[in-house]
Amino acid sequence: MMQNNHYTAETAPDEAERLLELSGRFMADGMTKEDADRQAAAIIEKENRRARSPFKLAHAGNMPLTAPEWLIKGLIEKNSFGVLYGAFGTAKSFAALDFAFSIGTGTATFHGAETKAGAVVYIAGEGWQGLVRRLRAWELIRGRSVRDAPVYFSNAPANLCDAEFFLYVKDAVSAIAEQGTPPSLIIIDTWSRNLGGDENSSLDSARAVQALDELRAPYGAAVMVVHHSGWDKTRTRGSTVLMAAADYAFSISKEKDSPVSVFECQKMKDGQTPPPICFDLLDAPLGIFDEDGDEITSAAVRFRPDLEPPEKGAGRSTAPKMGINQRGALDCLQSLWTKQATFNRLAGIDAEPKISIKDWKAAMEETGLDRRRRSDVIRSLEKSGYVILGTEDVILTDPPNMAESTIFDGE
């Protein structure tokens, strides 16, 4: 047999027989044995490549009609990709945990939706301690134990854009599947913590989405990404790649000073759009105490069918009062944010506004705020939850709604 093809004496029996069959046909048509063997080997290589190919075409008339396979009835299908997003403090992670524990224990969700029992992988960007307390609160409030349920938490973020590190993530999930519990749902909480890249970058976001598709594909699992809302509260923060890739998207909103969160469907590729769901958080004492003897509590979501979603903006007039310096500093930041957001929108830039602390302080100086008071004012706004400070940049936790803002046309 020719040494310049892939078929030797060790070729699989079926392939060897196929090779002899094809070669015999070609020689019967007048080919030399050498040419016949080469042609036969090329055909077999092509057939094998087609058989191995992950990309195939199916005739439309042969595609089966199937009913949805729900993980959570009416909300999340198996083998799907979706997003759960909201502003800071809207209890989105509490809702995600309820979905995780409900699927893990095979019980209905907080609002009574049926679930298909399965394993859940929860890739958390924060430490375990807070999650363990929320788990215990869920058990106490729901009256179900998660001890023997196949729910797994990560001890570190996934770093989706780091190909080398992501191999460890895939190996960890594979190890769980090899124990007989392939994941039905993989939750990423949050996108920014797990991305390992720039959430404003379309390239990084696309790379991360591809990584999650690779992670879920062997198991037919659903993925739910928990993310923060963007400038107008109706979209996610950062690149639009994430929402474009989603089969479903749910938002969670909460008016200021209101205990009620509203869970709403913003995107459902297939199926009916479910109605909004109102919920709040129910506290539970955990039976553990701090060094001062005070009992530690945590919370779980509670369905509130007796409530209607509050009118948008209804809670704004009840925002906590602040001093004149804090109000002035926050107005400066909101002005900078609105200008940058408007510029990005008009320029077609797919990115969230990025405000530096340096620029914010410079804007305060223009208003006459005493230099000695600026750092104290910034810290007080951070403590009150109005802003989140990074090393160099600042994030508004409740940015202006661009849908309600006047377009800025320059000074």
- 76-112: per-residue pLDDT in tens? 999 999 999 998 889 999 999 999 999 999 999 999 9
Question: Which pLDDT tens digits describe the chain residue by residue (411 residues)?
Answer: 344 444 443 445 578 888 899 989 999 999 999 999 999 999 999 989 998 998 989 999 999 998 999 999 999 999 999 999 998 889 999 999 999 999 999 999 999 999 999 999 999 986 677 899 999 999 999 999 999 999 999 999 999 999 999 999 999 999 999 999 999 999 999 999 999 999 989 999 999 999 999 999 999 999 999 999 976 677 898 899 999 999 999 999 988 778 899 999 999 988 889 999 999 999 999 999 988 899 999 999 999 998 888 776 554 434 455 788 888 898 899 889 888 888 877 776 766 788 899 899 999 888 888 888 888 888 888 877 788 777 788 888 777 765 444 333 333
Query: Do 153 and 292 belong together in one domain?
Result: yes
185 and 78 share one domain:
yes
Q: Among 303, 333, 353, which residue terminates a domain?
A: 303
Q: In the numeric block, which tokens belong to residue 277?
A: 């769901």
> Can you give the pLDDT at residue 402?
54
Triad 266, 269, 273: Cα angle to 5°:
50
User: What CA–CA distance (Å, rounded) separates 327 from 374?
Assistant: 12
> What is the structure's pLDDT at 344?
76
Say whether both 293 and 159 belong to one domain.
Answer: yes
Q: How many structural domains compose the chain? A: 3
Residue 82 has φ and ψ, to the nearest 5°, of -145, 175
Picking from 229, 218, 164, the residue whose alpha carbon sits closest to that of residue 190 is 229
Residues in Cβ contact with 213 at an 8 Å cutoff, skipping those fewer than 6 apart: 81
pLDDT of residue 315: 46
Which of 25, 10, 9, 28 minimizes the C-alpha distance to 1?
9
SS3 for 165-203 is: HHHHHHHHHHHHHHCCCCEEEEEEECHHHHHCCCCCCHH
Nearest CA among 254, 258, 260, 190 for reference residue 224: 190
Inside any domain, residue 408:
no
pTM above 0.75, yes or no: no
CATH number, domain at 198?
A: 3.40.50.300
Amino acid occupying residue 371: R
Sort strands 70-72 and 76-77 into parallel, antiparallel or unpaired: antiparallel
Residues 6+ apart with CB under 8 A from 97: 122, 131, 134, 135, 138, 300
- Asked if residue 406 belongs to a domain, the reply is no
Q: Is residue 311 part of a domain?
A: no
**What is the reported pLDDT for 350?**
63
Residue 342, domain extent: 320-396
Are 139 and 12 part of one and the same domain? no
82 has which bridge partners?
Answer: 224, 248
End-to-end CA distance of the chain: 81
pLDDT of residue 261: 94
Cα separation, 238 vs 229, in Å, equals 9
Contact 224, 258 (CB under 8 A): no
CA angle 351, 354, 356 (to 5 degrees): 165
